[in-house]
Structure 1
Amino acid sequence: MKIFVALISAALSLLAIEPIVTSQWLNEHKNDVNLRIIEVSEGDLFGLEHIPNAAHTSIGKWRFDNGTFLSIRNVAEIEKEISSLGIDEKTDVVLYAPINEAKDVLKTSYIYWALNYHGIKNVALLDGGLKAWKNGKLELSQAEPIIKPTAFKALIDKNKIADIGYVQSKLGKLPMIDARPSDMYLGVTSTPTVKRSGHIRGGMSYSWNYSVDKEYNLKPKAMLESVFKEGYGLDKNKEVLVYCTGGLETSFNYFVLSGVLGYKNVRLYDASMKEWGNREDTPMTQYRYEMFKK
């Protein structure tokens, strides 16, 4: 009997967490041994109130300014942060933020991507963030959790990231999606910190916020399926590259495509337009929408 129970437990542990979870689900599972809840916030917000058992991180622990644009930190630094949060490759992770502005949501999706990139696969976002939790009148805490660090070693998935050389080599060969607002994609509005206006030649426009409602709850999965399959002609088994201004906005498109919709090969161009649009030798298009032609 004990062996049977152990086998059932082992089988259940292999089931991946859903990529988007509700406050009700999280409340029911917040004490699960294999679950780590992570708040992504700045300043003193975490100390004022957070979801019980949640640990804390900030986006600065995952990204650094290299003088031209922000980039993912080196592997050793990311391993240290993941380990300090009590996470390893077997952990289920739920990320959330107190959403005071759009960028707060994007910080959680960027860390979602960063965890995937470093070998953590069972990751989810809390639909609607802390506001949804509070709207449900669920328990809040000020207690600092006691976390046992892990000895995590990254298993880098190089298929999750693209550099400028890779993007240049794939122009016209695979679909690329720009997550910025459409006016910045078109180049009728300049993008702050980017010298040249427009988009990567051949790139398609899909602003990341099209996937959420005004409360930052994810729109219906069936609608999102139709958008990318019927509207953009994407194939779940073929590669797609996503980019934006500097990595944050496009991480939400990565989350929707790779996580929610199950696209097999989504690459994120981390440096995005802060690199591409500040050079003179990179092909760009302005004032028109483009669609990828196979």
Structure 2
Amino acid sequence: MPFSFALLASTAKAKPVAACQRLRPFSSLVTPAWLRESDRTSGQVRVIDCDSPVAFQRAHIPFATSFPGFSATNLKDTQGGTGVVGPREFQQLVQLLGVEKDSTIVFYDDAMGIGATRAWWVFLHYGFPKENLKVSELLTLREGAPLKETGKLVGLEAVQSALLRGTAEFVDSRTPAEYIGAQANGNRRVGHVPGAVNLDWKDAVSAEGNGRFKTKAELEELVHQRKLTTNLDQPLITYCQRGVRAAHTAFVLHEILGYRDVKIYEDSMRQYLNRDDTAIEH
């Protein structure tokens, strides 16, 4: 299976991460070379395959673990298929993954990062530190203590408040056809959040077909072309149809380009375009 990339969700080993950051200036992104050189046999580095269980059975990185029970691309509420997976289910997931003491968690997929970035963002939402996932955090989870949500995923109320007050810029991760309303994607209404910038998530992926992100310089040029703010302190809210593609874009904006306040509208257009009280543009 061609390996696309890995996302570093936590680290207990400073040396290899520092080397990685010299190669690519992304705080949570590691290269395939870094992963090949890591010690995956000792339990210090835990590699999580975010593709489907069927794809995992076909081929996967040695010592990788498949997401148990459901696809990492979704991580959605099991009853309605909308909204992030609940704290109880997430806690069970962490237990099933069996992350060990002093582990580094690396997410990867073979789908241009769509599953890996979703998993990374949900773990971040539930309070897993980007750079320092310690065993104390895992023990707290295993003891059944309540999880604290950090607000990385927001709902309709926050979206409408930001629109009314003008406190955030919106980034639409869907295709241009969905953005302009030429494709409904099963929604009752079409269009986009007023003032939203269209940044199709695939536009952040290298055109070479290797599934990797574009360089930081290329991504900066891309957001400049789309007229997204260059103020890294400006709050941003990304969305798509169900909050999955939006996670990829949020990762690019936050981890690669350095925007400090990025959130995902979790229910996205699946909710927004199927209500009558939401403002839209075509």
Is the TM-score greater than 0.5?
yes
- Select 2:264's aligned residue among 268, 274, 287: 268
Aligned to 2:44: 34
- Structure 1 gap segments, 5+ residues each: 1-8, 124-149, 287-294
Which segment drifts farther, 15-24 or 71-80? Answer: 15-24
1:221 maps onto 2:221 in alignment? no
Aligned length: 246
Alignment partners' CA distance in 2, 1:176 and 1:13:
37
Alignment partners' CA distance in 2, 1:229 and 1:252:
18
CA gap 1:11/1:219 in 2 versus in 1, 3 angstroms: closer
Aligned to 2:172: 178
Alignment partners' CA distance in 1, 2:16 and 2:266:
30
CA gap 1:188/1:49 in 2 versus in 1, 3 angstroms: closer
Shift in Å at residue 201 of structure 1? Answer: 1.5
Alignment partners' CA distance in 1, 2:188 and 2:15:
49
- Select 1:197's aligned residue among 190, 194, 205: 190
Give me the CA root mean square deviation: 2.8
Shift in Å at residue 15 of structure 1? Answer: 6.3
Alignment partners' CA distance in 2, 1:54 and 1:162:
31
**How does 1:143-182 map onto structure 2 within 5 Å?**
150-153=138-141, 156-171=148-163, 172-182=166-176
Shift in Å at residue 159 of structure 1? Answer: 2.9
CA gap 1:274/1:157 in 2 versus in 1, 3 angstroms: same
Residues 229 and 235 of structure 1 are in contact (CA less than 8 Å); yes or no, is this contact kept in structure 2?
A: no
Shift in Å at residue 19 of structure 1? Answer: 2.2
Aligned to 2:84: 72
User: Identity over aligned residues, as a percent?
Assistant: 25
CA gap 1:175/1:88 in 2 versus in 1, 3 angstroms: farther
CA gap 1:152/1:87 in 2 versus in 1, 3 angstroms: farther
Alignment partners' CA distance in 2, 1:182 and 1:90:
43
- Select 1:20's aligned residue among 29, 41, 45: 29
CA gap 1:175/1:234 in 2 versus in 1, 3 angstroms: farther
Alignment partners' CA distance in 2, 1:65 and 1:279:
22
Alignment partners' CA distance in 1, 2:100 and 2:152:
19
1:63 maps onto 2:72 in alignment? no
Shift in Å at residue 199 of structure 1? Answer: 0.3
Which one has the largest radius of gyration? 1
Aligned to 1:146: none
- Structure 2 gap segments, 5+ residues each: 1-10, 21-26, 132-137
Alignment partners' CA distance in 2, 1:97 and 1:270:
21
Q: Which amino acid aligns with 1:121?
A: P
Which segment drifts farther, 171-180 or 90-99? Answer: 90-99
Alignment partners' CA distance in 1, 2:16 and 2:32:
22
SS in 2 for 1:81: helix
SS in 2 for 1:96: strand
Alignment partners' CA distance in 1, 2:140 and 2:220:
34
Residues 110 and 211 of structure 2 are in contact (CA less than 8 Å); yes or no, is this contact kept in structure 1?
A: no
Shift in Å at residue 262 of structure 1? Answer: 2.7
Residues 49 and 66 of structure 2 are in contact (CA less than 8 Å); yes or no, is this contact kept in structure 1?
A: yes
CA gap 1:174/1:76 in 2 versus in 1, 3 angstroms: same
Q: Which amino acid aligns with 2:57?
A: G
- Select 2:124's aligned residue among 116, 141, 147: 116
CA gap 1:98/1:152 in 2 versus in 1, 3 angstroms: farther
